[in-house]
Amino acid sequence: MALPSLSLSLQFGDLKDAARHRAALPRHTVIRCIRHALEADAEITVRIVDADEGQALNREYRGKDYATNVLTFDYAIEPVVMADLVLCAPVVAREAKEQKKTLAAHYAHLLVHGTLHAQGWDHETGEADAEAMEAREIEILAGLGIKNPY
C-alpha cells in the first residue's frame, strides 16, 4: 500500500543549540514520520521553535501560559490534510532526557502525535479516545522502528 503524498515545509526558529535539533530532524526523517501517520495526502508545515515562541502560541491559541511540546493547527482534513505542527525544542529536549529517550525518537513520537491531531484524533475527549490514539501512535511508531513511547 502506497503512503499518502506530503508537501512539507520544515522551519527552524531562532534556537539555542539549533545544530542538535536539526541533526535530530533531517527532512527525510520528518517526511517519513508524518507520512506513516497520514491517512490522506497532506500539506504540512513543521516549525521548531524556542520556549518564548512556543509559550506565546500556546497562550494565544489555547489560553495556556506555558510552552508545550507540540501544538497542532489543523485547517482542513479533506480532501487534503492541511496543518501546521509547532514543536518547542527546549520542551522536547527536556522531556526526552526525563523519559530517557533519544531526541530523535521523541521528535518522531511528537510528529506522529501532531499528525494524528491534524486528522481529527483527540486524546482530550475521553479515556476511550485517549486509549485509541495511544494505540495508533504505538502502532505507527513500531512501523518506524521506534519502541512504545508510553
* Residue 53 CA, distance from chain mean position: 16
Look at the block and give the residue holding cell 511540546: 69
Annotated binding site: 113, 117, 123
What is the pLDDT, as a whole number, of residue 2?
85
Segments of the chain scoring below 50 in pLDDT: none
What is the pLDDT, as a whole number, of residue 42?
98
79 prior amide bond cis, ω within 30 = yes
- CATH assignment of the domain containing 131: 3.40.390.30
Rg (CA), the chain: 14
Report pLDDT digits (tens) over 114-124: 999 999 998 88
Instruction: Give domain status of residue 56, yes or no.
Output: yes
Number of domains in the chain: 1
Annotated binding site for Zn(2+): 113, 117, 123
What is the pLDDT, as a whole number, of residue 108?
98
C-alpha 2/C-alpha 101 separation (Å) is: 30
Instruction: Give domain status of residue 149, yes or no.
Output: no
Instruction: Give domain status of residue 80, yes or no.
Output: yes
What is the pLDDT, as a whole number, of residue 1?
67
The residue segments making up the domain with residue 122 are 6-143
